[in-house]
Amino acid sequence: MKAIFFEKYGKPEEVLALKEVAMPVPQENEVLIKIDFTAVNDYDWSFVTGKPLVYRLMFGLVKPKNPIAGMELAGTVQLIGSKVSKLKVGDTVFGDISEFGFGTFAEYISIREDAVIIKPEKLSFEKAAAIPHASTLALQALRTIGKIKQNQKVLINGGGGGVGTIGLQLAKLSNCHVTGVDSGEKLTMMKSLGYDEVIDYKKTDFTKTNERYDLILDCKSNKSPFLYLRALNPTGIYVTIGGSLSTLISIFFWGKILSLFTKKSLQILSLKPNEGLDEISQLVIDNKITPKIDGPYPLEDTARLIQYFGEGRHTGKLVIKVRA
């Protein structure tokens, strides 16, 4: 089968190559899935580059344990192991498989059956590949932790990416006034998607304006937690889904201490893969939300796309069509 393969960490376009590799064989509790579409995520950038270095504790200290990256898929079950009970051959499935492994930048993958869920018939493979990771991050951040309410004032930092574009639409279902922060090149697209206000982070620091928000969803997290507190209303909630390790540690530490003295809240989301994905799927089918797709691109473009993602130039979700 064809796969995007790498044996050492480095710049994506220098270490990734399209190769013919052996077809995986499912173990007794695994299913073999023919992958139709996959997508690029933040984990893929860290997986391939080996940065930040702390990720090597998970991916491999000196070289990657798994030579194939990728964590989202939409495809069809081809074979099942002897102890598989929830899925059968011919089932169309999708999901974020990161809890069980990686390897979706390939034509086939063997993975635990619990890593995926059944794809609704009315949901296209392309959209199915675009929503598992980003949409559940947005849903869990805004609802589970952020406790989003009707008519709130919401800000999304990193508003032009996969999480941001879904987060906007989820917030709009609650009639919220939503401000999006990203690079100037994305602002026109963001306005067209429905942001009430947009901010070019290169020109304006949203934490240093006079605006205050009820809920902040942060996809970047590269500022002092005290600046985030300043941008919140008296009972506001700040939720980060990721960022630099030092910033996340600072947010965790100060969030615990400051909670003793203020009603404002600093929270870090620990994602539960695929939780809420059925609900998101139905919203997509009902045309209540629509994933913003950058692509789809062919599998052989994966190295360029991961570099593109790492530079923050993508809009919405970078989707890859595995089969021509």
Q: Please answer whether residues 229 and 238 qualify as being in contact, where contact means their C-beta atoms are separated by less than 8 angstroms.
A: yes
Q: In this predicted structure, what is the pLDDT of residue 259?
A: 76
Quick one: pLDDT at residue 53? 79
Q: Is 54 exposed, middle or buried (0-12, 13-18, 19+ CB in 10 A)?
A: exposed
Contact present, 107 and 34 (Cβ < 8 Å):
yes
| Per-residue pLDDT at 281 | 98
Q: Which residues of the chain are modeled with pLDDT < 70?
A: none
What pLDDT sits at residue 284? 98
User: Which residues of the chain form CATH 3.40.50.720?
Assistant: 133-268
Hey, what CATH topology would domain 2-131+291-321 get? Quinone Oxidoreductase; Chain A, domain 1 (3.90.180)
Angle of helix 132-139 relative to helix 277-285, nearest 10 degrees, comes to 100
Q: So what's the pLDDT on residue 200?
A: 98
- pTM for this predicted structure: 0.93
* Cβ proximity of 102 and 68 under 8 Å: yes
How much is the pLDDT for 260? 77
Predicted confidence at residue 246, as pLDDT, reads 78
The CATH number that domain 133-268 falls under is 3.40.50.720
What integer pLDDT is reported at residue 13 of this predicted model? 95
Residues of the chain with CATH 3.90.180.10: 2-131+291-321
Q: What is the pLDDT of residue 51?
A: 87
pLDDT of residue 277: 98
Coil, strand or helix at 300: helix
- Give yes or no for a cis peptide into 52 (omega within 30° of 0): yes
Question: Could you tell me which of 172, 128, 145 has the C-alpha nearest to residue 296?
Answer: 128
DSSP 71: -
What is the rounded distance in angstroms from the CA atom of residue 119 to the CA atom of residue 278? 9
Name beta bridge partners: 297.
320
DSSP secondary structure of 106-117: BSEEEEEGGG-E
